[in-house]
Structure 1
Amino acid sequence: MENKRFKLFNTYVDALSFDETIKEVEDIIVEKKPTQHVVINASKINLMQQDDKLTEIVNSCPLINADGASIIWAAKKLGIPVVERVTGIDLFTKLVEISDKKGYRIFLFGAKEEVVTKVKSIFENKYKNIKIVGYRNGYFTEVDEFEIVQQIAASEADIMFVAFSSPKKEYWINKYLNEMNVPFVMGVGGSFDVVAGVTDRAPKWMQEHGLEWFYRFIQEPKRMFKRYIIGNVKYVMLTYKTKFLLSR
């Protein structure tokens, strides 16, 4: 996969299709070496400009997918051959489907208690062979962390989905990756809320036109203004600045 990894700003992106990504994940599960997966979008790129530790964590991940349409846009501007988005929520739900067929053991971690419980119930009702070997809400203190890590390790999960926001999920997974001993650990942000019906995902036509960010913004304009309006302006400026520097 080395020849498909490209430098993007102060990080990297793997120019993999959705199917190629699934193949990489399944290889990781077979290998059983604890691996942290990340996706990148405009918001995370902006965070990484100010957070060296987050940048170090993301860059250490063996698999970095282009989650946002913003990454595809910037890649095109900068001459990087990334042509397909691999969104976190699509990868998450597809891996659950595959786990039902192949017997992979799943641990769900994050969101409110009623949300993660509902997600577990939805998956168990939809997939008759699904093995959800553990779940826990995302509300805890530092003193709880040892017990949580022990619970995860004891579950012998093959895949863990972590529904925290960034950069908390990247920090937490990186800190306990080897102790949890889960082959494939993926941060999924607000995906549990989407599966549980707490928040809506953008209509398909908006997804296809790179407007999911706008759909989220109009749902919560006050909360999302800094992330999507100010953040997107910063990201566009960063892209053109990078293009100018590369041209020189």
Structure 2
Amino acid sequence: MTTRQTLFGVSLDALTMDGTVERCLAAVRAGERLEIGVVNAAKLVNMRRDTALAHAVSGCDLVLADGQAVVWASRLLRRPLPERVAGIDLFMRLLGEAEAAGHSVYLLGAKQDVLEQMLRRIAVRFPGLRVAGSRNGYFDDSEQPAIADAIAASGADMLFLGMTSPKKEIFTAGYGERSKVALVHGVGGSFDILAGVTRRAPERWQRLGLEWLYRALQEPRRLGKRYLTTNVSFALMTGRELLRRTPAPSISTASRGES
């Protein structure tokens, strides 16, 4: 069991990256199913508006802080999380561990050409990795049962979902068990980054909590307004929570002029 901290009504696991990797590997070795959910500022805002997304994330076995702003908020609200566990970094760590241990993976998501480019790059970076199967992320809801069955038939140990929210969370909640993999991890836009379609923010930007801005600068029309809106909402959420947790100052008899 790990320590959990509750932020904005959501329980998050207070794990480091190393601790998370060990939990994942232990689940795979034991053949126990472990579903991972990650949250950043935008997702926490959207979870308040989207009950299906909130239910899917809360139902995960591990819920991790993928955004630096979430870590900062946890410390400000005295519910500290040890560090950011970025989904793409966890993804890369697990691919390396899977290669070393002989575990197999299934990769679901992105456009077909992006998926194929990512697979080529992964083959170079992790030449010993066993890829049990892959499929692009463009499918109707009616196809989800057949996709889950194909994943189960592949015998994969780990499933990585390169899809946007809430699609990846809803697939995990509805079909993670049916897919019969030990580990399910939604990695969002990581497939695009590994394929070279989009660039990840430099480490300095990441440390400053500005990875969202770097992404918005790459796609200002699609992401600019969205990030601005959710970041303002998250700041307001944090401020309200801080005021709610801060006790009102007591008034002493001396300050009232009483003896």
How does 1:32-43 map onto structure 2 within 5 Å?
A: 32-43=31-42
Q: Larger helix proportion, structure 1 or 2?
A: 1
**Corresponding residue number in structure 1 for 2:220:** 221
**Corresponding residue number in structure 1 for 2:5:** 6
In structure 2, what is the Cα distance between the partners aligned to 1:67 and 1:229?
Answer: 18
Superposed CA RMSD in Å reads 1.2
Deviation string 1:174-205 (CA, Å, 9 cap, x unpaired) is: 10111111110010110000000000001111
**Corresponding residue number in structure 1 for 2:70:** 71
* Alignment pair present for 1:58 and 2:57: yes
Contact map agreement 1:106 1:160 (CA 8 A) in 2: yes
Deviation string 1:179-233 (CA, Å, 9 cap, x unpaired) is: 1111100101100000000000011111121110110111111211232111100
Deviation string 1:19-76 (CA, Å, 9 cap, x unpaired) is: 0111111111122222210111001101111122222221221211111011011111
Deviation string 1:63-114 (CA, Å, 9 cap, x unpaired) is: 1111101101111110112131110000001111111101110000000001
Relative to the length of structure 1, the TM-score reads 0.96
Query: What letter is aligned with 1:207?
Result: Q
Runs of 5+ unmatched residues, structure 2 = 248-259
In structure 2, what is the Cα distance between the partners aligned to 1:168 and 1:144?
Answer: 13
**Corresponding residue number in structure 1 for 2:105:** 106
**Corresponding residue number in structure 2 for 1:236:** 235
Note closer, same or farther for the CA distance 1:141–1:60 as it changes in structure 2 (3 Å cut).
closer
**Corresponding residue number in structure 2 for 1:178:** 177
Tell me whether 48-57 or 195-204 shows the greater mean CA deviation: 48-57
Q: Which runs of 4+ in 1 moved over 6 A?
A: none
Percentage identity across paired residues of the two chains? 38
Query: What letter is aligned with 1:20?
Result: G
State the shift of 1:125 in Å. 1.9
Note closer, same or farther for the CA distance 1:193–1:128 as it changes in structure 2 (3 Å cut).
same
How does 1:184-203 map onto structure 2 within 5 Å?
A: 184-203=183-202
Relative to the length of structure 2, the TM-score reads 0.92
Runs of 5+ unmatched residues, structure 1 = none
Tell me whether 232-241 or 55-64 shows the greater mean CA deviation: 55-64
Tell me whether 147-156 or 86-95 shows the greater mean CA deviation: 147-156
The aligned length equals 247
**Corresponding residue number in structure 1 for 2:160:** 161
In structure 2, what is the Cα distance between the partners aligned to 1:170 and 1:144?
Answer: 16
SS across alignment from 2:108: strand
Deviation string 1:143-185 (CA, Å, 9 cap, x unpaired) is: 3223211210001111110011011110011101111111100
